[in-house]
Amino acid sequence: MPEITAAMQPSLRSLYRLQWEEAQQAWVLLYPEGMVRLNVPAAEILKRCDGKNDVAGVIGDLERSFGATDLAGDVYEFLTEAAGRGWIEFAR
């Protein structure tokens, strides 16, 4: 996989759906073969992967929303993992 850049626009692949699961009291990623229960940071990142926001925008929005700084490394690490698992794809 090519290196993820700030200008790339992540989106969930069409096979997956992100939703709040009341029974789990957590955000989950649903797909035909099952479900992945997400932790809060993973869900917050994936909520912003709409194909319109670029990676820099996702990071900026997360930092503003949570009053945090220096989230870029964690976001890039998660996006790399999510892409490797086939959950997301990128537009350039």
pTM: 0.94
**Which residues pair with residue 18 across a beta bridge?**
29
Would the pLDDT of 92 be above 80?
A: no
pLDDT digits (tens, 9 = 90+) for 24-74: 999 999 999 999 999 999 999 999 999 999 999 999 999 999 999 999 999
pLDDT for 71: 97
Which residues, 6 or more positions from 75, have their beta carbon under 8 angstroms from its beta carbon?
45, 55, 58, 59, 62
CB-based contact 54:7 (threshold 8 Å) = yes
First to last CA, the chain: 13
Domain map of the chain by residue range? 10-85
**Which CATH code is given to the segment(s) 10-85?**
1.10.10.1150
